[in-house]
Amino acid sequence: MTRFADLGVVAVLVGAVLASLFLSGPAASTGDVVSVLTGGGDQVTRTVVLQVRLPRILLAMAVGASLAMAGAALQALLANPLADPFLLGISGGGAAVATAAYIVLPVAHLGLVPVLAMGGAAGATGLVWYLARGPLGPSPTRMILAGIAVNAAASAAILTLLSLAHSQRLPGALAITMGSFAGAAPAQVLALLPYLLVPSVILLAAGRDLDLMATGEESAASLGVELSEVRRRVFLAAAALCGGAVAFAGVIGFVGLIVPHMARLVWGYDTRRLFPRVAVAGAALTVLGDLAARRLVPPIELPVGVITAVVGVPFFVAMLRRSP
């Protein structure tokens, strides 16, 4: 059963990538894409396919994988199925700092934006945890409420920054708020990889502890988990995943909520088994979301966060109604 599911999710991702490559718009037809992929095509088509569409797809995959893994890790760490980088304000914290950096930094130092976004995401994570903590660990309700507070503060900061921003920097700063893969370039994809790969290794190493955390902090500590150590590693890994995603693609909500939840229904609760599958499913969701964002109301391109919210909000409401 799970082997079919493994094949199924890979097939969906491959399908999403092909659809995105072939059906992204009039700039390159299906025939053009085929000829570029077989080594032909004119210079313009080659640029459209290899320098625009392909990096965009790869960036969407990396961001989707990052957000889905961050969601899976946070849900296990906090024993809270509603934990999501977007809802907890982690993406918001990253976005506020990324926006500030984008507006303030000289062009030569814009390469620092991802590191700073990671710092913002880490700060927001720490703040949410601090606000939600209790004598026996963070309470799920307080965690969501703390997320609302951090999100509100981040939104206020972003709006203030946008109103103060110089007009030249405004479009780039707005893209962080709206969530988009439009600016994808091969260099960005490469720059994002460490923000995906290093945290993935950290999370895989913490898999056993995360499984034990799913039954609460007191129980996990009694089973040998060094709580503060695991918390620190997983929070930092999640912050790096979200910070990288936000810096290169802006705020995209609900991927970290929907994907781990659906994946658990199919593959169960073994966190280490879940991570690679969640990454593939997250990648597929964002690639499809991006395709929809580009093709639903042409020639206008919607923010991809709108598409994930259209799917994610009803999903969140359904989960809220099911929660005790």
Indicate whether 218 belongs to the interface with another protein (CB under 8 A): yes
Q: Name the residue among 125, 128, 76, 26 with its Cα closest to residue 261.
A: 76
Looking at the Cβ atoms of 51 and 222, the one nearer to another protein is 222
Residue 214 near another protein by CB under 8 A: yes
Of 230, 97, 249, give the one whose Cα is nearest residue 181.
249
Question: Which one, 209 or 290, has the nearer CB to another protein?
Answer: 209
Q: How far is the CB of 137 from another protein (least distance, A)?
A: 9
Of the pair 80, 177, the CB lying nearest another protein is at 80
Select 107 or 265, whichever has its Cβ closest to another protein.
Answer: 265
Task: Please state, in angstroms and rounded to a whole number, the distance separating the CA atoms of residues 288 and 38.
Answer: 24
226 contacts another protein (rule: CB under 8 A): yes
Count CA within 13 A, CB hemisphere, residue 14: 6
Rounded least distance, CB 234 to another protein, Å: 14
Q: Which of 26, 39, 106, 224 binds another protein (CB under 8 A)?
A: 224
Q: Which one of 46, 142, 208, 295 is in contact with another protein (CB under 8 A)?
A: 208
- Please state, in angstroms and rounded to a whole number, the distance separating the CA atoms of residues 15 and 102: 35
Asked, as a colleague might, if the bond just before 299 is cis with ω within 30 of 0, I would say yes
Over the window 52 to 91, marking each residue x when it contacts another protein by CB under 8 A and - when it does not, the resulting string is: ---------------------------xxx----------
Report how many residues bind another protein under the rule CB under 8 A. 26
Backbone angles phi, psi at 86, to 5 degrees: -75, -50
Please answer whether residues 147 and 108 qualify as being in contact, where contact means their C-beta atoms are separated by less than 8 angstroms. Answer: no
Q: Any idea how long the chain is?
A: 324
Q: Which stretch binds another protein (CB under 8 A): 28-36, 50-58, 94-102, 203-211?
A: 203-211
Both tokens assigned to 222: 């009694």
Which residue is it, tokens 């946008």? Answer: 162
Q: Please identify which residue in 18, 222, 317, 320 interacts with another protein, judged by CB under 8 A.
A: 222
C-beta neighbour count of 318 within 10 angstroms: 11
Smallest gap, in angstroms, from Cβ of residue 143 to another protein? 12
CA distance 199 to 205: 10
Residues in region 242-301 near another protein by CB under 8 A: 264, 268-270
What is the nearest approach in angstroms of another protein to the Cβ of residue 312? 20
Site for another protein in 119-148 (CB under 8 A): 135, 140
Q: What is the DSSP string of 134-203?
A: -TTS--HHHHHHHHHHHHHHHHHHHHHHHHHS-TTTHHHHHHHHH---TT--HHHHHHHHHHHHHHHHHH
Of 32 and 217, the one with the shorter C-beta distance to another protein is 217
Q: Are the CB atoms for 308 and 295 separated by under 8 Å? A: no
Q: Which stretch binds another protein (CB under 8 A): 37-45, 162-170, 190-198, 222-230?
A: 222-230
Residue selected from 32, 84, 209, 290 as contacting another protein according to rule CB under 8 A: 209
Residues that bind another protein in the complex, under the rule CB under 8 A: 79-81, 135, 140, 205, 207-209, 211-212, 214-216, 218-219, 221-226, 264, 268-270
